[in-house]
Chains A and B, each alone.
Chain A
Amino acid sequence: MDVFRPRESAKTALNNKAIEAENLAKIYRGNIKAVDGITFSIDQGEIFGLLGPNGAGKTTTIKMIMTLTTKTSGSLHVFGLDVSKYSEQVRKMIGYIPQSISVDADLTAYENLLIFSKLSYVEKKERDSRIHKALEYMGLSARKDEIVKRYSGGMMRRLEIAQALVNHPKLLLLDEPSIGLDPSSKKQVWDSIRQLNQEFGTTILITTHDMNEADELCDRIAIMSEGKIAVMGTPAELKREVGGDIITVEMSDSYHIPSFPKVIGKIIRNDDLEIEILTEDGEQAIPLIADFFRGHGISVESISINKANLDDVFMKYAKRRLTDEMFKSVRKTRRDFARHSR
């Protein structure tokens, strides 16, 4: 099934990056720097995550890529095309799923896809088969002639993804794709994102403030804070930088620990009955630790693992917790005011 496989066009040679941004900035009136000179590139076929609190500049970045807002300075290329010069061609290569639901609730699912594929200039003879395949792919065929108003939130999201698929995008932009969804719909959305990437090689850029989502889906992540990229790398790399996983070993009696092998990890705390060991990869370290203690005749009550997460990474680079960040941010509120009063 290669229905969603994007077609190569002459203009977009394979060696081009899917997205290339250099010193990209968006400054709103009143010198509000929504995006403050970011540089990053995304390879074709990659799942890339922009992680950060509200107001960090993720959505503005997406909108600049989608040509919905113009950059203030810097350069931005999508598959080698300058977005400010070739906005219509760029939009033709991208599927976009905005933060808020954008399907037309007064039309049926089929009609939504029909209108969208017409506006995306899908060829007439291909239109119907693409629409039906997209509906089938997202599991909406049975209710395609129902007015979308009656759909659940999860179904609307899936319809939205179906819509983004009818023009066979080479690049899919998802702005907070699972916000407000229940866990099972969330999982469905994640599965379809992964499937698109694996089966059809679609490049995917996703923004989120959900650390699990970023960790689960993304090949690489950039953490944004106040319009800047604070740090960029694979989830594993980033987590390694904050030190790795912590293993806590509870012993049945107080023992003297001789020298602890460095290959396993480093003891960072040693109470009489409890030891904390910092390791690079907790799951691999646990059996080694168990063997070590058994070998020294120390009886162990329990071993627990505390995995490093991206919140720790965010904490390190932005000096704040991501979770707190969602609720209080004076700066964010100010930006929001500025954005809404224009």
Chain B
Amino acid sequence: MNIRRFFSSAITITEMEARKIRHDSTELWTRIIQPALWLLIFGETFNTIRAIPSGNFSYLQFLTPGILAQSVLFISIFYGITVVWERDVGIITRLLSTPSPRYSIVLGKSIAAGLRGVLQAIMIFLLALILGVKVRFDPFDITGVFLVVILFAMCFSCLSMLLASYMKTRDRMMGIGQALTMPLFFASNAIYPISIMPSWLQYVSIVNPLTYAVDAIRSLLVEGNYANLPIDILVLAISTVIFQVLASRTIKKLLE
């Protein structure tokens, strides 16, 4: 397999997505509503009553990385629906009938989810600016957040494509997406610290990749303490590779 061709195929798949977003960006704007409500209503309320311990930072500061990760999770966990839809309209058949290797197509799709994640992150940065949430707008940290978001979106979009290979319909993917997002979200440090969880839930949160994504984004965006960053990124990278390989092997099942 030719490495240069492999990556050029993956980038082309991402380019395809970018061109679609350029033609119609409605989705980007509608996707800002939910995180805005979380920050404005949930965030502001708990910020005022101080019910959740958030260390040296305000609750809004604590919450912003969690909500960023949550909205990227939504984008990527439902990415399989897009792929099922593309199967229904023949695009997957088209892609798989090119000489490009399957791994490169799945990789390209997951980077495309990463691209959507980055655009979402930019929206949430803007939201944080408007709400006056103090986050570290340092070029290094922002770049770091983007990279973590891309990795995280790749991880869960591959999981979603893996599930889509077996589920095969949009309805089932909708169901499984709904069933997964809330447990993942609540069993993570997105809206409260792990330390206040019941101990059984703490164990669950340790195997939840969302925890590591939130931790990485929070340390870059709020805390400026990078001690946990290597382990966070390692866990995310390993899960991404596993899901990537599995999804690439199963994607052809979608056509059967």
Contact = CB atoms under 8 A, between A and B. Distances in A.
Interface stretch (B19-27, B39-47, B212-220): B19-27
Contacts of B89: 100-102, 104-105
A118 B93 CA distance: 16
A40 interface: no
A102 to B, nearest CB: 3
Interface of A: 63, 66-69, 88-89, 91-92, 94, 96, 98, 100-107, 111, 115-116, 118-121, 147, 163, 167, 339, 342
B222 to A, nearest CB: 37
Given A107-B19, A107-B20, A119 B98 contact: yes
Contact of B101 (A88, A107, A116): A88
B-side binding surface: helix, strand, loop or mixed? helix
B5 A121 contact: yes
Contact of A102 (B15, B16, B23, B91): B91
Contacts of B97: 66-68, 91, 94, 96, 98
Contacts of A111: 16, 19
B184 interface: no
Interface in B122-157: none
Nearest to B256: A342
Given A91-B97, A92-B99, A106-B23, A115 B15 contact: yes
Contacts of B168: 342
Contacts of A120: 98-100
Given A98-B90, A107-B19, A68 B255 contact: yes
B23 A147 contact: yes
21 contacts: A63-B255, A68-B93, A68-B97, A88-B100, A88-B101, A91-B98, A91-B99, A98-B90, A101-B89, A102-B89, A103-B94, A104-B16, A104-B89, A106-B24, A111-B19, A116-B94, A118-B8, A118-B9, A119-B9, A119-B12, A121-B100
Interface of B: 5, 8-9, 12-13, 15-16, 19-20, 23-24, 89-91, 93-101, 168, 252-253, 255-256
A129 B101 CA distance: 25
Contacts of B256: 69, 339, 342
Contacts of B16: 104, 107, 111, 115
A102 B99 contact: no
Given A115-B12, A118-B12, A119-B12, A104 B91 contact: yes
Contacts of B91: 102, 104
Contact of A98 (B13, B19, B94, B100): B94
The 8 closest A-B pairs by CB, nearest first: A102-B90, A119-B98, A92-B99, A102-B94, A118-B12, A91-B99, A119-B100, A96-B97
B15 A89 contact: no
Given A102-B89, A102-B93, A107-B16, A119 B23 contact: no
A121 B7 CA distance: 12
Given A67-B97, A106-B20, A119-B98, 13 more contacts: A66-B97, A88-B99, A91-B98, A91-B99, A92-B99, A98-B97, A100-B89, A111-B19, A115-B19, A116-B94, A119-B13, A120-B98, A121-B100
B54 to A, nearest CB: 42
A91 B23 CA distance: 30
Nearest to A88: B99
B167 to A, nearest CB: 11
Contacts of B99: 88-89, 91-92, 119-121, 167
Most A CB contacts (10 A, CB to CB) among B8, B16, B100 go to B16
Contacts of A100: 89-90
A116 B91 CA distance: 11
A68 B252 contact: yes
Contacts of B253: 342
Contacts of B9: 118-119
B47 to A, nearest CB: 40
Nearest to B168: A342
A339 B253 CA distance: 11
Contact of B23 (A66, A98, A107): A107
Nearest to A164: B97
B255 A119 contact: no
A103 to B, nearest CB: 8
Contacts of A104: 16, 20, 89, 91, 94
